[in-house]
Amino acid sequence: MATIEECRAALGKLSDNMQGAEGEVGAAAALDRSVSCHITDLDVTFVGRMTGGRLEVDETIPGPPREKARIRLAMAGDDLVALVGGELNFATAWGSGRVKLDASLLDLFRLRKLL
């Protein structure tokens, strides 16, 4: 099972990848949205914002998110680490229910370029 520190590092790596993106992926990364990522097996949520082409994690809270972010993710810590590391395909994980993504329809279309 991935630790909180490994999950935070994976989110940091995702942020670094977003910042270096160009073209359509760079445009998708440039969204300005509140974000939450609930790590179900650790029962913690990383809360932050996508802004300026980066993902900034502001805090880590126990349990599920307290407020509804515009982009909400939920998954196990190992799945987050595998997704960011390129070992798990997002579409497969999402289709099987291992990863949950809630966002507006327009944001979903934009985010699919990132994932």
Domain ranges of the chain: 4-111
- Fold (CATH) for 4-111: Nonspecific Lipid-transfer Protein; Chain A (3.30.1050)
pLDDT tens digits for 13-67? 999 888 877 777 777 777 899 999 999 999 999 999 999 889 999 999 999 999 9
> How much is the pLDDT for 115?
62
Residue appearing with tokens 């307290």: 66
Quick check: 54 and 15 in contact, CB under 8 A? yes
Beta bridge partner(s), residue 8: none
Q: Which helix (H) or strand (E) holds 16?
A: helix 4-19
**Whole-structure pTM value:** 0.91
Nearest to 103 by CA among 38, 55, 36, 44: 36
Residue 74: its pLDDT value, please? 97
Of the two residues 53 and 110, the one the predictor is more confident about is: 53
